[in-house]
Amino acid sequence: MDEERDDVGARAAIGGRRSVRRFLDLPVADDTLRRILELSARAASGGNLQPWQVHVVRGAALKRMSEAVLAVHETGAECPDYRYYPEVWREPYLSRRRKVGFDLYARLGITREDKAGRAEQFRQNFRFFGAPVGIFVVIERDFVPAGFLDSGLFLGNLAIAARSFGLETCLQAAWVYYGAVVRRELGLGDDHLVVAAAALGHADPTAPENEAFTERAPIDEFTVFHES
C-alpha cells in the first residue's frame, strides 16, 4: 500500500467531498471498485472486528432492488431496520435538515407546493440517483450499536477513496426504511441489519443538484477546549 502512504491528496479529497445526486450512465471499472472497497476496509474498528458486510448491486441486481423497494415505497408502507432520524425534531437539527432540502429543491426548480416533484426527487434515492453501483453496508444485528460506528468509518473512507479515483458518492439512509425488503433481495435474514447504503459513480457535471456545497457549523460551535 506504498501508493497510499505517499498520497498527499487527503485534504482535497475530504474537503471537496459532497453528496452527488445525479450520476452519469458510465460504468465503474471492476478493479477500481475493488480498490475502493479495499481502502474503505482500512477503517479502524474496535478489536479489528471489521463488522461491516458489504453487498454491491449493479446491473440487473440493482434494477431488481430498485423495483422491489419502490413497489413498497409506493404503498406508503415502511419496514425499517432502524430509524435514522429522531422521532421528535428540535433545533438546530430541524433547520439544518430543512435547509439542505430547500436548497436541493430550489436548485432543481421544484417549488414548495410541487409535492409530486418532491416525491419524484425523493424516489431517485431508490435508483441510486442513476449511479451504476449501489453499495449496502450490513452488520449482524448483535453488533448494534458499535457496528454502526465501525460501519460509519468504513463508509466515510468509501466516500473519500472514491474521490481519489475521480468518482463520487451519496451516502444514503433512505434504504434503511425498507430494510426488510433490502435484506430479502440480498438473501439476508432478520439476524442482519442494514446500516446504510451508498451510490457510487461518475458525477454528472451538468446537474444543478450536484453543485450544492453544504455549510458546516464553525468549530467553536461544536467543540469545547478544556484546558484549566
* Binding of residue 210 to ligand FMN (CB under 6 A): no
Residue 146, number of CB atoms within 10 A of its CB: 14
Identify residues 32-91 at the interface with ligand FMN (CB under 6 A). none
Nearer to ligand FMN, 160 or 196 (CB): 196
Among 40, 45, 172, 210, binds ligand FMN (CB under 6 A): 172
Whether the Cβ atoms of residue 73 and residue 123 lie closer than 8 Å to each other:
yes
Spatial separation of the C-alpha atoms in residues 5 and 57, rounded to whole Å: 30
Nearer to ligand FMN, 21 or 192 (CB): 21
Q: What DSSP line would sit under 18-54, residue for residue?
A: -B---B-S-PPPHHHHHHHHHHHTTS--GGG----EE
Nearest approach, Cβ of 212 to ligand FMN (angstroms)? 6
Nearest approach, Cβ of 97 to ligand FMN (angstroms)? 8
Among 138, 162, 196, 203, binds ligand FMN (CB under 6 A): 196
Residue matched to cell numbers 431517485: 124
Residue 131: Cβ-neighbour burial (10 angstroms; 0-12, 13-18, 19+): buried
* Binding of residue 149 to ligand FMN (CB under 6 A): no
Q: Which residue ranges make up the site for ligand FMN (CB under 6 A)? A: 18-19, 21, 100, 125, 170-174, 196, 214
